[in-house]
């Protein structure tokens, strides 16, 4: 079985051809520019290739509601040219095979659950902490989608007592993304996160916010495994601090070992590293192939 994958990020696209075991035989990466230019690069990648199905994990917001007239569209993004763009339709036309369509983070959750750090678990929440913050999940085999897809990065969190930074989300100012995504770290502290390794207060503040958020996601979803990825999580000191903050935020209320004494086994780094998304897209393609229709 030959499967295609498109991990469509706001800054870069990754296209791949591989199999259901996550083995990649061909891969290409290019910057996300206009839809026309970017889709032309996708077309060139898949030219002269035969694939049984393709999976798209896309930046959002996107319409994932199969009953909607604009299913498969990128919806209201400020990204030039992409607003109201029929992304799924464009890819179907290029590849002429069934195409699965979901968010980049839902795809990454599927990748980690099937072939990464959440193997064997019944459910997996995947969160990226990068240019933005987004979460996706697979619960009992199903991608977490509703009227739209979750927007877990935009929840409110209790403020860190010493933090006076106003936040930079254009919609909510001090939502989680506005306070804790990579650009917020840079604006609050005046340097990129990668330059702030030796400033413990940076990571204590960051872990406070991510700990608050993870506790909320535990209370609302109760996932068996939580995988934290994205550029900011490359700071290795962050994960143990997050474990501490989640435990403090829950304060023993959810008393299961997974969220108390064994929290290190529940909240983990990606097993697939930076390939969680693209691997998940291959698995999404396999799901679309099995359904046997463009979905
Ligand atoms: P994207 O979210 O655009 O797909 P990334 O997940 O790489 O890409 O996130 C980029 C953000 O992560 C930037 O704000 C960057 O400053 C931050 N970042 C990248 N690497 C590190 C690092 N090693 N330490 C802290 N922050 C980092
Ligand atoms: Zn917001």
Backbone torsions φ then ψ of 86, nearest 5 degrees: -80, 80
Measured CA to CA, the distance from residue 178 to residue 171 in angstroms comes to: 9
Q: What is the pLDDT of residues 11-59, one digit of tens each?
A: 999 999 999 999 999 999 999 999 999 999 999 999 999 999 999 999 9
Please check the confidence at residue 127 and state whether its pLDDT lies above 90: yes
pLDDT band with cut points at 50, 70 and 90 for residue 245: very high
The pLDDT > 70 percentage for the chain reads 99
> Does ligand 1 lie within 6 Å of residue 98's CB atom?
no
Residue 253 CA: distances (Å) to CA of 92, 219, 243, 247, 248: 47, 10, 15, 9, 10
CB neighbourhood size of 100 (10 A)? 29
Angle in degrees, 0-180, between the axes of helices 87-95 and 35-46, rounded to the nearest 10: 30
In short, whether 182's Cβ falls inside 6 Å of ligand 1 is yes
CA-angle at 266, arms to 261 and 269, nearest 5°: 125
C-beta of residue 202 within 8 angstroms of C-beta of residue 196: yes
Which residue puts its alpha carbon closest to atom 9 of ligand 1?
A: 130
User: What pLDDT, on a 0 to 100 scale, did the predictor assign at position 77?
Assistant: 87
Q: What is the Å distance from ligand 2's center to 170 Cα?
A: 7
- The pLDDT tens digits of the residues spanning 152-168 come to 999 999 999 999 999 99
Is pLDDT at 101 greater than 90 in this prediction?
A: yes
Strands 12-18 and 3-8 turn out to be antiparallel
232 CB less than 6 Å from ligand 1?
yes
276 within ligand 1 shell (Cβ under 6 A): no
Q: What is the pLDDT of residue 158?
A: 98
pLDDT tier at 292 (50, 70, 90 boundaries)? confident
Name the residue with tokens 């659950």.
Answer: 113
SS3 letters for the chain? CCEEEEEECCCEEEEEEECCCCCEEEEEEEECCCHHHHHHHHHHHHCCCCCCEEEEEECCCECCCCCCCCCCEECCCCCCCCCCEEHHHHHHHHHCCCEEEEEHHHHHHHHHHHHCCCCCCCEEEEEEECCCEEEEEEECCEECCCCCCCCHHHCECCCCCCCCCCCCECCCECEHHHHHCHHHHHHHHCCCHHHCCCCHHHHHHHHHHHHHHHHHHHHHHCCCEEEEECHHHHCCCHHHHHHHHHHHHHCCCCCCHHHCCCHHHHEECCCCHHHHHHHHHHHHHHHHHHHCCCC
Interatomic CA distance for residues 252 and 218, integer angstroms: 12
pLDDT at 295: 46
CA distance 104 to 276: 9
State in Å: Cα 196 to ligand 1 middle: 13
Q: Which residues pair with 133 in a beta bridge?
A: 129
Work out which ligand 1 atom sits closest to the CA atom of 197: 24
Q: What integer is the mean pLDDT of 196-217?
A: 98
Tell me if 234 CB under 6 Å of ligand 1: yes
Strands 99-103 and 123-129: unpaired
pLDDT at residue 294, rounded to an integer: 45
Within 8 A by CB and 6+ apart from 172, the residues are 154, 156, 178
Q: Cβ atoms within 10 A of the Cβ of 36, count? A: 10
Measured from the alpha carbon of residue 152, the closest ligand is 2
pLDDT tens figures, 160-193:
999 999 999 999 999 999 999 999 999 999 999 9
Answer whether 0.95 is exceeded by the pTM.
yes
């Amino acid at each position: 079985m030959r499967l295609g994958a498109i991990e469509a990020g706001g800054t870069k696209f990754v296209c791949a051809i591989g199999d259901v075991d996550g083995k990649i035989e061909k891969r290409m990466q290019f910057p996300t520019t206009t839809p026309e230019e970017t889709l032309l690069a996708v077309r060139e990648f898949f030219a002269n290739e035969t694939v049984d199905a393709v999976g798209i994990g896309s930046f959002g917001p996107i319409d994932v509601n199969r009953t909607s007239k604009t299913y498969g569209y990128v919806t209201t993004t400020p990204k030039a040219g992409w607003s109201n763009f029929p992304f799924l339709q464009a890819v179907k036309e290029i590849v002429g095979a069934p195409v699965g369509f979901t968010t980049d983070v839902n795809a990454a959750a599927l990748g980690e659950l099937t072939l990464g750090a959440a193997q064997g678990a019944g459910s997996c929440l995947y969160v990226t902490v990068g240019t933005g913050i987004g979460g996706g999940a697979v619960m009992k085999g199903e991608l977490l989608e509703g009227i739209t897809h979750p927007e877990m990065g935009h929840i409110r969190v209790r403020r860190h007592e010493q933090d006076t930074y106003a936040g930079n989300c254009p919609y909510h100012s001090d939502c989680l993304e506005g306070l804790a995504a990579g650009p917020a770290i840079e604006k609050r502290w005046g340097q990129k996160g990668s330059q702030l390794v030796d400033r413990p207060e940076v990571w204590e503040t960051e872990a406070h916010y991510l700990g608050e958020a993870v506790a909320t996601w535990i209370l609302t979803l109760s996932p068996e495994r939580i995988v934290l990825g994205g550029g900011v999580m490359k700071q290795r000191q962050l994960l143990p601090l997050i474990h501490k903050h989640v435990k403090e935020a829950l304060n023993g209320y959810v008393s299961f070992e997974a969220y108390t004494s064994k929290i290190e086994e529940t909240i983990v780094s990606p097993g697939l590293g930076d390939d969680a998304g693209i691997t998940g897209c291959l698995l999404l393609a396999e799901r679309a192939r099995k359904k046997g229709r463009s979905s």
